[in-house]
Amino acid sequence: MLEPVPDAKNVFYVNLDGDLSKIANDLGLGLLPDEMEKVKQYFGKENRKPTDVELQAIDQAWSEHCCYKSSKPVLEETVFGLESSKKVIAREDAGIMEFDDKHYYAVGLESHNHPSALDPYGGSATGIGGILRDVVCMGAQPIALVDPLFFGELDTPRESLADGVKHPRYLMGGVVAGIRDYGNRVGIPTVAGQVAFHPKYTGNPLVNVGCIGIVEKELMIHSKAGDVGDIYILAGGRTGRDGIHGVTFASRDLDAGSEDDIGAVQLGDPITKEPLMHLCLELNEMNLLTGMKDLGGGGLSCVVGELALDGGFGAKVDLEKVHLKVENMPPWEIWVSESQERMMFTVTPENVEKVLERCKAWDVEAVTIGKVIAEKRNIVNYNGVEILNLDLEFTTGGPVYKRPYNLPEYDVGEAAKLPNYPKNMKQQIIDIISQPEVASKDWVIRQYDHEVRGKTVLKPIQGPIGKEVPGDSSVIKPVDDSWKGLALTSDINPYLMEANPYHGTMSAVEEVCRNLASVGARIDSLADCLCFGNPQRPDIMGQFKASCEALRDAATSIDVPYVSGNVSLYNETADGAIPPTPVLMGIGLVEDIRKCVTSDMKDEGTIWLVGKTKEEMGASLYYRTLGLECKNVPTTDFNSFIPRMEQLIQAIENNEVRACHDISNGGLVLSIIEMCMGGTGAEINLDSDLRSDIELFSESNGRWIVQVAPGFENDFEKRFDFARKIGDVNEKIIFKINDEKIAELTIEEVREKWTRPIWDRLA
């Protein structure tokens, strides 16, 4: 099968006349049989045998991670090309949106799921490193990180774990440590995210990382080569054997043998990254670059060709010039390695020495490795011998599959028969607030530096020192001489998604909007990271299609674009697939950060409910604690929601609001308790036709708890079609329904029950 290429050490011609599946398996390729046949036909037209380097390069480019071969047809029907009045400036390594007259903001969101399942510390750390590079290579200074995380249940019995599956406590501890150490050391604050638990994430956690950056408009740079003759300069970390076959590993199910893929996990190095980021931004400000792109999935095999082809050109590379971590790496390993902390520049010949001098000044290794050519081909030489010559449009085009799908049920159906009324409502409330999925996440948050760079206006936990409560959104002040701000949030409910992928996705988009509005921000853009199981299973593709249809419908309703994102498939183990998880990051604009409000209850002001509570108990935390199933999940009504959202924002801008918190997982009761744990209680009296437990625990969409400032009650009430006063501040937390007291709790006891669950499980 293999024949040495003359004068090229460790390079081989591959005979494709044999069993193509066996050839792919022997070379460690992820190419499917029909894909191998297409490769064979291509080289038949070229009238030659491929080298192993060429096959490895095609394997990377045609992986699910790189070419979206299963998801692209659905995305083209739904999410791609959505019309919005909010103009997207660019969608490249990161998305670009307008911030103000002088600045753009950059958005990136990606996943690092499979690597984190094998090596939680290294997998999550390199996820942060990769998303930072995506923002930097647009010319933007990173200013904030976001980390939506999903794990199995922390008290999972060890004996129940399958071979090769690591315990959720170990995975969560490693992931959080990796994000902490990388983000803190590189000096970028981690300000928002979520931590969710579900038993179906046990063998396949989800580690999503987002980044926001800011760039002056004239300094934005594109991820494409400038012109023929431009020189490629590789800068940053050395190339090694870490991260080989990373994208192909990410494009298949995890199993007991996945531990053998540990070499596919890259090794992050924030100490190398920090000066590299400064170098990139300085070179761009000095106007010395014609193009810039990070080395992520596929390594050199992807970045060289993508930079060239996006500019309408090709590339020629001398591979022996690449600086290496170890000796005697075969050329195919050098070409596909995903070693971290590397950036690729294209530079005009006259600026090469200036660029190399600045690299040396920053103590960043850099070397010229090739040039841009007119022909749209990738040509790679190794010590003077040609070892790769591929048509770029063939390589980057990749196969596309219209996978069969079984759509899940969209109809939510009728409300189920109500359960028995709780015998002890106080105990039922405590059971709700002490569930890990809604309990305090300060074990995670306090490990991150969310104040470095001094731009964080509203933090992920808010309120008096020692009595902090969870915020709905964090707010960043990106520009020194402006009061305009960026608000960030992330949210998805895996239980709701599992019950109904369409309405679960619609609810997630609405909740992102609610979270942003709670601090006074108007949603401006969305990023999505679509994490699903094996697309070759029709039920999984049905979940994916239903969720994408909801993403389209929701974004159209709120007139907001998806500016960045990715698709992560094959999140599946022998025990089954993860819940469908379209992770969302919302970015909102705040006109004046001085008007922002926090979620902690203040000592003055009346308490109001905005929005209607309905008997929509499907997938609710209350029903799940009772072991009940119900199809009647919360639905969305954007026609009524959007005016209320705008009216709430206007009330905040008019100083009518002292505190605000949206109602979501856990219902009204959890929102009130979270607000009160800042030290001020509340007496809530709900006039309702609903049964008390439904009124307290329903997770209907479109609702906020708002504390209205003294003297503004009339102004506030007149703004809304549906807003009602439900209470006043108090020393304790008291719930009444139609003037009948049904529960009384102290702030101290609920804070203890809410704070301890994560700490107790991870101690």
CATH topology of domain 2-61: Helicase, Ruva Protein; domain 3 (1.10.8)
Active site residues: 65, 112
- How many angstroms separate the CA atoms of 418 and 20, rounded? 59
Phi (first) and psi of residue 479, to 5 degrees: -115, 130
CATH architecture of residue range(s) 425-527+538-557+584-762: Alpha-Beta Complex (3.90)
Q: What is the pLDDT of residues 555-576, one digit of tens each?
A: 999 999 999 999 999 999 988 9
Paired with 687 in beta bridges are none
**Tokens in use for 351?**
């600026």
Residue with tokens 């954007």: 638
**Tokens in use for 570?**
């094959």
Q: What is the pLDDT of residues 19-70, one digit of tens each?
A: 899 999 989 888 999 999 999 999 999 999 999 999 999 999 998 888 899 9
Q: Which residues of the chain have pLDDT under 50?
A: 248-253, 256-258, 260-261
Please name the amino acid found at residue 157. P
- How many angstroms separate the CA atoms of 306 and 448, rounded? 35
pTM of the predicted model, to two decimals?
0.94
- How many angstroms separate the CA atoms of 146 and 490, rounded? 8
Q: Where in the chain is the domain with CATH 3.90.650.10?
A: 90-396, 425-527+538-557+584-762
CATH architecture of residue range(s) 90-396: Alpha-Beta Complex (3.90)
- How many angstroms separate the CA atoms of 391 and 379, rounded? 9
Neighbour tally for 136: CB within 10 Å: 30
Q: Which of 149, 266, 258, 256 is nearest to 208 (CA)?
A: 149
Neighbour tally for 426: CB within 10 Å: 15
Number of helices and strands in the chain (H, E): 25, 32
Q: Which residues contact 351 (CB under 8 A, 6 or more apart)?
A: 288
Inter-CA distances, 694 with 19, 621, 622, 707, Å? 62, 12, 9, 22
- How many angstroms separate the CA atoms of 348 and 81, rounded? 34
Q: Which residues contact 341 (CB under 8 A, 6 or more apart)?
A: 129, 236, 237, 268, 269, 272, 273, 276
Phi (first) and psi of residue 276, to 5 degrees: -65, -40
DSSP letter, residue 162: P
Neighbour tally for 384: CB within 10 Å: 9
Strand, coil or helix: 343: strand
